[in-house]
């Protein structure tokens, strides 16, 4: 098709000549040489369309422009009465040859000698008057000039493209280096997090165990020592929760073992354990979940997710308020909503709320503690169940986090990374 496209301009020009012939040059088709020229052009067009050129290498199609020059030579030598010299059409095959991969000297030779040779029979048949000799000599110089101009432009373009290509390759290489550096850094960060959290957990568990023992034997302790031990116990437990979150977020896989579970009892248990925190923050807890509410979930993991959402709802309601957990069903999905009327967030913050280590600027500047890990872990847990989590929030009015979980069925495979 490309070969046929290259042949198209000359074919169109000669078709126009043939169409104009009956009115303009009635003798055109009476000349046997001209008929032979048109027959040759028709044969060349058919060859362009029918020959599988790709089989014969990149230079084979160049036979067509060379034979075009022969056809032009025939038309010119026909010397039909009133027909202007069609030698200028030689520019078209010359353009084709110039655009090919032939060497520079070969291109320039064909561009000059091809058109020159088309003029010889024309001069011999029609008479060698000075103006015809001048025309025959001028034409090869014109086609040579066209070929040189085209080659120079092509070389400039190729140079520019090569420079851009090199710049593009260099950019790609740098980007690859940066991306692999970033991936290595992320992996190293996860390694450090995982090791440090693991190393912290063992002494912390021992501290909490000993504090529990000391507090269980509290009748020998003064009121002040008791208070101090309780503060130490609370903070050690907070530290252990943080270390557990860090450890979990550094491990790329969250394993879930789903089974038929009553969500209502999980919500009740989570609200029960948040009771003291809520009371201290003057937050009223309420629950509107029909019991039993069956779902196909891992009870431990979903309790962890609920604990996170409920403790956030209390934590981010610093002036007290109401936290409500409700439920609904949609087809084979169960929806759990954890709603508060606390601080809320801006739309921009809400978009990033499930990203690891994200804390909204308002919260970061304040005194509410946190590491920005709870929601990313919650999201990973819910997604491992084949569910989803969403956040609907308005700054100053409160937030609602909705968990969508499968009522029945199978949970997806564990193999994908939980924290992309």
The distance of Cα 168 from the centroid of its chain, to the nearest Å, equals 17
Q: Check if the beta carbon of residue 69 is closer than 8 Å to that of residue 117.
A: yes
Q: Check if the beta carbon of residue 298 is closer than 8 Å to that of residue 256.
A: yes
Place of tokens 């032009």: 72
Minimum Å gap between C-beta 396 and ligand ADP is 10
Which of 373, 380, 403, 418 lies at the binding interface for ligand ADP (CB under 6 A)?
Answer: 373
Piece of 71-79, 131-139, 265-273, 365-373 that binds ligand ADP (CB under 6 A): 365-373
144 vs 345, which CB is nearer to ligand ADP?
345
- Residue 363 binds ligand ADP (CB under 6 A): yes
Which of 204, 271, 360, 418 lies at the binding interface for ligand ADP (CB under 6 A)?
Answer: 360
Minimum Å gap between C-beta 309 and ligand ADP is 7
The secondary structure element, H or E, covering residue 329 is: strand 321-330
- Residue 281 binds ligand ADP (CB under 6 A): no
Which of 204, 274, 375, 403 lies at the binding interface for ligand ADP (CB under 6 A)?
Answer: 375
- Residue 321 binds ligand ADP (CB under 6 A): no
110 vs 363, which CB is nearer to ligand ADP?
363
The values of phi and psi at residue 16, to 5°, are -60, -40
Q: Which two tokens stand for residue 229?
A: 């031990």
298 vs 340, which CB is nearer to ligand ADP?
340
Piece of 10-18, 140-148, 161-169, 371-379 that binds ligand ADP (CB under 6 A): 371-379
Minimum Å gap between C-beta 339 and ligand ADP is 9
406: helix, strand or coil:
strand
Piece of 23-31, 74-82, 216-224, 351-359 that binds ligand ADP (CB under 6 A): 351-359
Minimum Å gap between C-beta 314 and ligand ADP is 9
For 71-92, the DSSP string reads HHHHHHHT--TTPPPGGGGGHH
Which of 312, 333, 380, 382 lies at the binding interface for ligand ADP (CB under 6 A)?
Answer: 312
Piece of 13-21, 82-90, 177-185, 370-378 that binds ligand ADP (CB under 6 A): 370-378
Which of 29, 113, 294, 358 lies at the binding interface for ligand ADP (CB under 6 A)?
Answer: 358
| Length reported for the chain | 420
Total binding residues for ligand ADP by CB under 6 A?
22
- Residue 382 binds ligand ADP (CB under 6 A): no
Which of 313, 327, 382, 403 lies at the binding interface for ligand ADP (CB under 6 A)?
Answer: 313
What distances in angstroms separate CA 302 from CA 110, 230, 298, 306, 316, one per listed residue? 81, 29, 6, 6, 21
Residues forming beta bridges with residue 261, ordered by sequence position: 295
Piece of 11-19, 46-54, 226-234, 368-376 that binds ligand ADP (CB under 6 A): 368-376
Q: Which long-range contacts (CB under 8 A, 24 or more apart) does 188-195 make?
A: 190/250, 190/251, 190/252, 191/250, 193/246, 193/247, 193/249, 193/250, 194/247, 194/250, 194/251
Which of 119, 342, 386, 387 lies at the binding interface for ligand ADP (CB under 6 A)?
Answer: 342
Q: Which residues contact 92 (CB under 8 A, 6 or more apart)?
A: 9, 10, 13, 65, 68
What span, in angstroms and rounded, lies between the C-alpha atoms of 359 and 356?
A: 9
| Vertex 276: Cα angle to 303 and 228 (nearest 5) | 115
Q: Which two tokens stand for residue 6?
A: 């290259």
Residue 101 DSSP code: S
118 vs 308, which CB is nearer to ligand ADP?
308
- Residue 387 binds ligand ADP (CB under 6 A): no
- Residue 343 binds ligand ADP (CB under 6 A): yes
Q: Which residues form the interface with ligand ADP (CB under 6 A)?
A: 308, 312-313, 316, 340, 342-345, 353, 358-360, 363, 370-376, 399
């Amino acid at each position: 098709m490309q070969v046929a496209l290259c042949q198209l301009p000359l074919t169109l020009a000669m078709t126009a000549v043939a169409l104009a012939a009956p009115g303009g040059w009635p003798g055109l088709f009476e000349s046997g040489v001209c008929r032979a020229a048109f027959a040759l052009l028709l044969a060349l067009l058919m060859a362009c369309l029918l020959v599988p050129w790709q089989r014969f290498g990149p230079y084979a199609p160049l036979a067509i422009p060379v034979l075009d020059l022969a056809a032009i030579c025939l038309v010119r030598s026909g010397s039909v009465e009133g027909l202007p010299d069609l030698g200028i059409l030689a520019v078209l095959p010359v353009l084709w040859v110039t655009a090919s991969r032939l060497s520079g000297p070969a291109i320039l030779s064909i561009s000059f000698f091809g058109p020159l040779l088309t003029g010889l029979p024309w001069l011999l048949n029609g008479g060698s008057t000075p103006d015809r000799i001048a025309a025959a000599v001028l034409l090869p110089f014109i086609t040579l000039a066209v070929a040189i101009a085209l080659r120079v432009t092509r070389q400039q373009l190729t140079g520019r493209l090569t420079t851009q290509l090199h710049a593009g390759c260099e950019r790609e290489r740098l980007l690859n280096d940066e991306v692999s550096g970033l991936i290595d850094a992320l992996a190293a960060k996860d390694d450090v997090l995982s090791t440090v959290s693991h190393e912290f957990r063992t002494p912390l568990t021992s501290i909490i165990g000993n504090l529990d023992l000391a507090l269980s034997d509290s009748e020998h302790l003064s009121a002040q020592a008791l208070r101090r031990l309780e503060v130490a116990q609370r903070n050690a437990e907070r530290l252990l929760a943080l270390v557990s979150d860090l450890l979990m977020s550094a491990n790329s896989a969250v394993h879930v073992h789903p089974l038929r579970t009553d969500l209502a009892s999980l919500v009740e248990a989570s609200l029960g354990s948040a009771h003291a925190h809520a009371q201290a923050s003057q937050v009223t807890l309420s629950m509107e979940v029909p019991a039993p509410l069956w779902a196909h979930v891992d009870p431990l993991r979903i309790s962890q997710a609920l604990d996170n959402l409920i403790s956030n709802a209390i934590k981010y309601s610093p002036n007290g308020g109401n936290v409500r957990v409700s439920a609904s069903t949609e087809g084979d999905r169960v929806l759990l909503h954890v709603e508060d009327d606390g601080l809320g967030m801006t739309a921009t913050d809400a978009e990033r709320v499930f990203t690891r280590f994200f804390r909204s600027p308002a919260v970061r500047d304040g005194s509410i503690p946190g590491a920005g890990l709870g929601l990313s872990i919650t999201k990973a847990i819910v997604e491992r169940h084949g569910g989803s989590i969403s956040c609907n929030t308005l700054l100053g009015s409160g937030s609602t986090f909705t968990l969508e979980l499968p009522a029945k069925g199978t949970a997806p495979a564990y193999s994908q990374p939980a924290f992309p």
